[in-house]
Structure formats: C-alpha cells, structure tokens
Amino acid sequence: MILVVGGAGYIGSHLVKELVETEEVVVLDNLSTGHREAVDSRAIFVKGDLGNVDDLVMVFRSYPIKAVMHFAANSLVGESVVDPLKYYDNNVASTIMLLKVMQRFKVKNFIFSSTAATYGIPNVDIIDETTPAAPINPYGRSKLMVEQILADFSKAYGLNYVVLRYFNAAGAHQSAVIGESHDPETHLIPIVLQHLLGTRDKVSVFGSDYDTEDGTCIRDYIHVMDLAAAHILALQALLNGKKSAEIYNLGNGLGYSVKEVIETCERVTGIKANVEMADRRPGDPARLVASAKKIYDELGWKAEKNLEQIIADAWKWHQKQTY
C-alpha cells in the first residue's frame, strides 16, 4: 500500500487518480487546502494532520505502507515571506515528524515534492540539477531544507528517496472530473481562464520590463498528468531498488512568456482577454525553464503534453468546476 500525504490537493489528487490503477492507496490529508471530492473513490481517505504524531501512527499501524509520497505543503511564495513560521512548521517540521514515524515503522521509500523555487534566480537559461540551489524566499528554503534532511537520512539510516522539483504545474485530468482549485488562486493559467469565463474582470500582467523577448516572465508549464506519470516511474524505480537519493527536474524544457500564455488561452477558448500591464510581483525570477534530461536518461520520463493541451484540459475543468 502506498501512503499519499496531501493526496486531496491539486497535484496529489491527480497522482492518486493514476496510482489507484496499479496500487492500493491510502490518502492522508487535513483538507486545509485540499478537497475531499478530489480524492478518487478507489483510495482510502483518512482526514488527519501531518503534524500530529497520533494521526501518523494510526495510519502506519492500520495499513502495510511500503512507500510514502509527500505532497502536503504550503506553496505560496508571497505568504512564505510574510509568515515564514507557517512554512518552516508545515513544510519542514511536519516532514521531520513524518520521516520519524516512517523510521519507527521501518518504511524506507519516500518521494518528495520539491520545486523550481529551490533555484532562486538562476544565472542560466536552462536549469539542470547541477544548477546551484539558492532559494530567495522561505518557501523555496523550506523545500531545500527537506532535500538536505533527506540526503542526511539516506546516508545515516538508509532512507531511499526521490526528490521531484516541479516547474509550473498546470492543466487538469483529461476527464475534467478533477482539476486545479485554489483559494485564493494566484497562478496564471487558472486566473486567465477564470477571467475568460467571466468570473474576473481582467488579467494583470505582473511586469513587462523584464529582460526577456517580450518583457514578461518566462515559465516552463508542465501538465499535472505528466507530473503524475513521473511520480509513478519514480515510485517503481524506488520499489525495484533501482534509484535512490536522486533529484530530478520536472518540466517541458520549453519557456512561455506571460503574454504567450494569455494568447494561447485566447486561442484555445476563442475568447479575447481584457489584459492590463501591472507592476512586477516581488520575488519573480525573469525566466525559469527546466532541463528534464536527467529523468529522461535515467527513468525514461518526458513531458508529453504541450501548452495548448495543458490549457485545453484546464479549460474543460474550469467550465464545469465542481469544487
């Protein structure tokens, strides 16, 4: 049985929907930002808190867990600057608790959701895993701290782990039964689509004077189901004893500017957006584009879906959003 912590959240719930096809799954989530409706009915759902040792022990006692996938974290850069305690508490201290309980129950396999925010403002156009980690906010630092803890635990206790550094997750399950639903929503693609649906009056472009081709920030958008597929390959590699203590970037390897994303949303939906140029958002690097060559070479994963498919799937979801 696989324990998915944070399996009711955006990325976790998409992974669970795929994972239940081949594995027995138990989801632990406190529903602070996740949605009960997003958890596939084939998974066992336990409402509980990662920071609560009793909740964790109960789950490990009740189910024969062979691996843990950890998606439960706060992930808003701006909020992390204003309230770093929340980030170090929920993202670092709670993860230590989880690792402690795993050790007690002799569970050795761990997959950790990390982020491009660990790279800070990189001085290369294409980021690979040798690009130095230099986060510029508490969110990125909280993720990097856990990565470092995992490396130490691997050496000292034989923990097997894979870290997956996501670039910009977007899109929805092809069935449109689950999708992205954050409150507040801060991400570009859902914001544009909500506007095109009529629930926001405009889209603000945060900064048009960056040192990029059209002056707006460039990001590497990756379909959430491509992310799910990468997790499943990483899990198989861990369970087969093939890989451990590895860090992989997960991205498309293609950068799109904020303007290009908005134009693609207009093209996919056939609706024109009302766009205003606004000030830069503090802490935004001009360009974040991944090389995902390492995971292709070692596990055979590559992103299958392009920006149009990401937006088309997200659009299907937003039109019938159920939670």
DSSP annotation of 116: G
Which 10-49 positions form the footprint of ligand UFG (CB under 6 A)? none
Q: Is 157 a catalytic residue?
A: no
Those residues whose C-beta lies under 8 Å from the C-beta of residue 291, and which sit 6 or more positions away, are 126, 127, 128, 249, 251, 253
What is the pattern of x (binds ligand UFG, CB under 6 A) and - over residues 219-258? x--------------------------------------x
Extract the tokens encoding 247.
């860090």
Judged by CB under 6 A, the residue of 123, 242, 281, 322 near ligand UFG is: 281
Stretch in the footprint of ligand UFG (CB under 6 A) among 28-36, 185-193, 290-298, 304-312:
185-193
Q: What are the residues facing 166 on neighbouring strands? A: 115, 250
Q: Which is nearer to ligand UFG, 114 or 160 (CB)?
A: 114
Stretch in the footprint of ligand UFG (CB under 6 A) among 28-36, 37-45, 88-96, 204-212:
204-212
Question: What backbone phi and psi angles, to 5 degrees, belong to 128?
Answer: -115, 180
What is the pattern of x (binds ligand UFG, CB under 6 A) and - over residues 60-99? ---------------x-x----------------------
User: Measured in whole angstroms, how far is the alpha carbon of residue 57 from the centre of its chain?
Assistant: 26
> Which of 179-191 are b and which e, b meaning 16 or more Cβ less than 10 Å from the residue's Cβ?
bbbeeeeebbbbb
What does each C-alpha distance from 155 to 151, 152, 203, 245 come to in angstroms?
6, 5, 48, 9
The answer to whether residue 284 forms part of the interface with ligand UFG (CB under 6 A) is yes
Quick one: which of 196, 184, 201, 187 has its CA closest to 316? 196
The answer to whether residue 265 forms part of the interface with ligand UFG (CB under 6 A) is no
The catalytically annotated residue of 10, 87, 139, 256 is: 139
The answer to whether residue 168 forms part of the interface with ligand UFG (CB under 6 A) is yes
User: Which residue ranges make up the site for ligand UFG (CB under 6 A)?
Assistant: 75, 77, 115-117, 139, 168, 186-188, 191, 204-206, 217, 219, 258, 281, 284, 288
Active site members = 139
